[in-house]
């Protein structure tokens, strides 16, 4: 499973990228707002750092304007994936932009039917939002499993990019189901390293090192 990092915080991306943990980046208007940066400028900086796909989202809601914005975003770098919402206009924009050879990430997906339409429209990535379904007491992971089954049934090449990931468990569940990509905030990726028994075991080892005066260098 590829790891994308869901942030526009360049320093946070750099830290994970240097460890080999970043295969791509996803941003959205909320993350751009949080960064306080100009969208074109910060997206260019991210694309210069990370060679994998970098999703940048359009602001328009009508297809023609989304296409215009998508073309402008795609000029930033070859690794831009234009992010469009899963609306009828978004699907039209997806079809046009992928027809021009651009990568398109169709976002705000909350149902298997929406994912089916995105694949038919040639989406490079479909972004089902797990956490926001869980927030409604639905099971976001069921959606990932349903889309995996449907795409595999018909050999759709659209990659499942699991999004709205809120916990380390979400990451391993996505990997078990076979999501192609999971995009998560930096703190969630780092939390994957945590285990209480690791902490407990290390504390005992440190005590024994101290007691025995063990020294290597």
Binding site for ligand G3P (CB under 6 A): 6, 26, 28, 129, 131-132, 163-164, 166, 183
Contact between residue 106 and residue 84 where contact means Cβ atoms under 8 Å apart: yes
| Cβ-based nearer residue to ligand G3P, 6 or 23 | 6
d(C-alpha 197, C-alpha 179), whole Å: 28
d(C-alpha 77, C-alpha 73), whole Å: 8
DSSP state of 111: S
Both tokens of 168, joined, read: 């380390």
CB of 185 to ligand G3P, least distance (A): 7
CB of 55 to ligand G3P, least distance (A): 8
| Cβ-based nearer residue to ligand G3P, 98 or 127 | 127
| Cβ-based nearer residue to ligand G3P, 98 or 164 | 164
Which one is catalytic: 33, 83, 102, 190? 83
- Is residue 83 annotated as a catalytic residue, yes or no? yes
CB of 162 to ligand G3P, least distance (A): 9
Reported as type and span, the H/E element at residue 2 is strand 2-6
2 forms beta bridges with 181
Active-site residue set: 83
């Amino acid at each position: 499973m590829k790891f994308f990092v869901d942030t526009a915080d360049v320093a946070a991306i750099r830290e994970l990228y240097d460890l080999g943990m970043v295969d791509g980046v996803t941003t959205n208007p909320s993350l751009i707002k949080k960064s306080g940066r100009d969208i074109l400028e910060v997206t260019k900086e991210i694309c210069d750092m990370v060679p994998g796909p970098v999703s940048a989202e359009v602001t328009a809601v009508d297809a023609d304007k989304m296409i215009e914005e998508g073309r402008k975003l795609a000029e930033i770098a070859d690794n831009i994936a234009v992010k469009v919402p899963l609306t009828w206009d978004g699907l039209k924009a997806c079809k046009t932009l992928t027809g021009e050879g651009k990568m398109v990430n169709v976002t705000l997906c909350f149902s298997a039917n929406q994912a089916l339409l995105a694949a038919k429209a040639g989406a490079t990535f479909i972004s089902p939002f797990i956490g926001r379904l869980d927030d409604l007491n639905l099971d976001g992971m069921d959606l990932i499993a349903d889309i995996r089954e449907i795409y595999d049934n018909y050999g759709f090449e659209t990659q499942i990019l699991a999004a709205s990931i809120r916990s380390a468990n979400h990451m391993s569940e996505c990997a078990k189901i076979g999501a192609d990509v999971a995009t998560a905030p930096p703190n969630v990726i780092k939390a994957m390293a945590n285990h209480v028994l690791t902490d407990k075991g290390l504390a005992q080892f440190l005590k024994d090192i101290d007691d025995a005066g063990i020294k290597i260098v």
